[in-house]
Amino acid sequence: MITINHVNKTFSQRKGVSYSALDNVSLTIGQGEFVSIVGPSGCGKSTLLNLIAGFDKATAGTIAVNGREVSAPGSDRIVVFQEHGLFPWLTVLDNVAFGLKQKGVSKKERHALALEQIKSVHLTKFAGHYPFELSGGMKQRVAIARALVMEPEILLMDEPFAALDEQTRLILHKDLEDIWLRTGKTILFITHNIREAVLLSDRVIVMATQPGRIKREFTVQAARPHQSSDPLLHALEDRIMEALSDELEKVVREELGHEYRLKTNPISGSAADHLGSGI
């Protein structure tokens, strides 16, 4: 369980000016829950994930995992980033086994464990390949296998599929949901993509910006495994987009001026379901 209590995060800028990235954020994520956070760029999604990971410390408030306050990175929490971070000089097998090697696990055992996770992401026949021989989607599968082999309780995923094409993302959505259903891991997933959040999650947290805070929470009530054609999911996407529209307008006005208005989709009448990396 992840417990976030009244967390603030302030960054110092030039000339002694401070910037408030997170303001009074409180959230509980239950064991085995899949929770996504959406919001415009600059709302503090990745900042919050970094605090949970132990990469940074809150200015005020506390973050605890299973009752123990987070003060540093730990083996119970593994982060999967947008960039796969694979070592180009290592094979898929050795990339996945790298963390186990650092822990002193024997070569025979770590290769057996790594092969098990490589199989779970459908890359068995690529175990001897190098990263340059893999597609973007395959590299992200390897990154997920590398995280899973360490047996963390919690997967922290920071826009892991953002750089992939739509077809590859959809395939990886299904694979990730299957992994989650099989392992029961707690997953916190950061994304700009509302449809992605709804397809994957038990709950979707909407963050406001300037400063970052929790604006709304939505429960995904569709049956598992989620189906992209489910009308319940489409209706929920619209509700989340409606909750975000003011925040998107705020960010775009800040960047482009007060004369700008958030345009709607001429077909659906609502803004696009992808918040974009530029807003």
pLDDT bucket at 261, cuts 50 / 70 / 90: low
Q: What is the pTM of this model?
A: 0.87
Q: Give the model's pLDDT for residue 279.
A: 33
Nearest Cα to Cα of residue 46 among 201, 265, 209: 209
Given the DSSP bridges, would you call strands 203-208 and 213-219 parallel, antiparallel or unpaired?
A: antiparallel
Residue 265 has pLDDT above 80, yes or no: no
- Tens of pLDDT, residue by residue over 92-123, are 999 999 999 999 999 999 999 999 999 999 99
Please provide residue 206's backbone torsions phi and psi, each rounded to the nearest 5 degrees. -100, 125
What is the rounded average pLDDT of the residues 64-84? 93
Q: Give the model's pLDDT for residue 40.
A: 87
Determine the 3-state secondary structure of 155 from DSSP: strand
CATH 3.40.50.300 for the 29-51+152-279 domain, yes or no: yes
pLDDT bucket at 210, cuts 50 / 70 / 90: confident
Domain parsing of the chain, residue ranges: 29-51+152-279, 86-151
- Tens of pLDDT, residue by residue over 177-189, are 999 999 999 999 9
Q: Give the model's pLDDT for residue 249.
A: 73
